[in-house]
Structure 1
Amino acid sequence: MVKTITIPEIKVMAELITNMKHKRVGILGGTFNPPHLGHLIIAEQVKSQLNLDEVMFIPDYQPPHIDKKTAISAEKRLKMVKLSTMDEPGFKVSDIELRRKGVSYTIDTIKELKLKNPEVDYYFIIGGDMVEYLPKWHRIEELIKLVKFVGVGRPGYRKESKYPIMWVDVPMTDISSTLVRRNVKQGCSIKYLVTPEVENYIHEEGLYRE
């Protein structure tokens, strides 16, 4: 006896097939001035816990913050991100914001990525300290319809937001780009704060000494 498949069943099957084809990609954006092991820990934990296919690192060209950060050239920051991630096949690097130049608004990046890769589901990773600033993000109401936000828990910050956030707990470290730059300027070691490749590059290029 041949079973008749109903219209609702066909729709469910079509949706399942579509979802099976969707690639799940995390996005970790930032100035990466320089990239450090804390960035890699976050990316690996989010990728593992959410079962993502990969995590894409996207250095910004000009962060849309009021307190502009003094950063080295975009080319050198991009080079260090590539050096940091070169040994992990699940980590990718994109220069999409550096090529676009101007202020690096997340909405512009996501719309460009979705246009080129409509079959990909994107998960934008932010620290717990950034969650409270989401209402101030450029075109946030439009952005939350295009991407899933993943919040990384941090001590002292509540896991609360009026926006849908997927929370992931990761091992907390006090490593920061500010710490790395300060250590270099003061002639202190940055071993175990950044990858050996980035450490060598910083010393070879004479970065952050002034």
Structure 2
Amino acid sequence: MKIGLYFGSFNPIHIGHLIIASHVVDHTDMQQVWFVVSPQNPMKPSSVLLNEYHRLHLVHLAIEDDLRLKASEVEFKLPRPSYTIDTLTYLQEKYPQHDFSVIMGSDSFQNLPRWKNFELLIKNYAFIIYNRPGFEVKDPLNARLTILDAPMLELSATEIRETIREGKSIRYLVPDKVREEIEKYGYYK
């Protein structure tokens, strides 16, 4: 099975993430997209992260009725911080029957040379890149790329967290079940 891996903190998961994942399944040969919830991103401070199991649960709530999408806690079991190459190596060993590709925005793709063992990533895996305004895809690395013009929303998890702290509504920014869970447990206040 062809699987697109969408790595992120998903802090919290929002409509923009879901639109991209759905677009990847609809417009590439990927049969599933797995949301790989990162317990700790080596490029971001962990102090603003909601507990990883709560974030994973919010992802499950967001995608529960869409069989094309799956939540993965694979990085919870791996050494921290999580590095994409280590996660992919583990997944390839555990699921040799699957063909994995990495989904990322064109902004993240520009940072790829700063990633651990990025040469191995490029050699062994294909990338599905969704365009982000202001970040043109340049590929001096000769990676295997599929470039998508996925519908983009100017949404960020940071802004959603700020909206919650300000006591404003996040309705329509996240799926209703995610919003209800965040409100019920007072996440991000």
Whole-angstrom distance in 2 between the partners of 1:101 and 1:140: 18
Match of 1:45 in 2: 23
Comparing 35-44 with 97-106, greater Cα deviation is found at 97-106
Of 138, 144, 151 in structure 2, the residue corresponding to residue 171 of structure 1 is 151
Residue 148 of structure 1, CA deviation? 0.8
Contact 1:62 1:101 in 2 (8 A): no
Map 1:184-203 to 2 at 5 A: 184-203=164-183
Map 1:1-210 to 2 at 5 A: 23-65=1-43, 67-69=44-46, 70-163=48-141, 164=143, 165-209=145-189
Whole-angstrom distance in 2 between the partners of 1:71 and 1:89: 27
Larger radius of gyration: 1
Residue 101 of structure 1, CA deviation? 4.4
Contact 2:9 2:41 in 1 (8 A): yes
TM-score, scaled to structure 2: 0.95
Match of 1:8 in 2: none
Query: Hey, which bits of structure 1, 4+ residues long, moved more than 6 A?
Result: none
SS, match of residue 123 in structure 2: coil
SS, match of residue 88 in structure 1: coil
Whole-angstrom distance in 1 between the partners of 2:154 and 2:95: 35
Cα RMSD (Å) of the superposition? Answer: 1.1
Task: Tell me the matched-pair count.
Answer: 186
Whole-angstrom distance in 2 between the partners of 1:86 and 1:205: 20
Gaps of at least 5 residues in structure 2 are none
After superposition, the C-alpha distances for 1:55-108 in whole angstroms (9 at most, x for unaligned) are: 00110011011x424201111111111111112111011110012241110011
Whole-angstrom distance in 2 between the partners of 1:95 and 1:52: 20
Query: Matched residues, percent identical?
Result: 35
Residue 159 of structure 1, CA deviation? 1.5
Contact 1:83 1:198 in 2 (8 A): yes
SS, match of residue 147 in structure 2: strand
TM-score, scaled to structure 1: 0.86
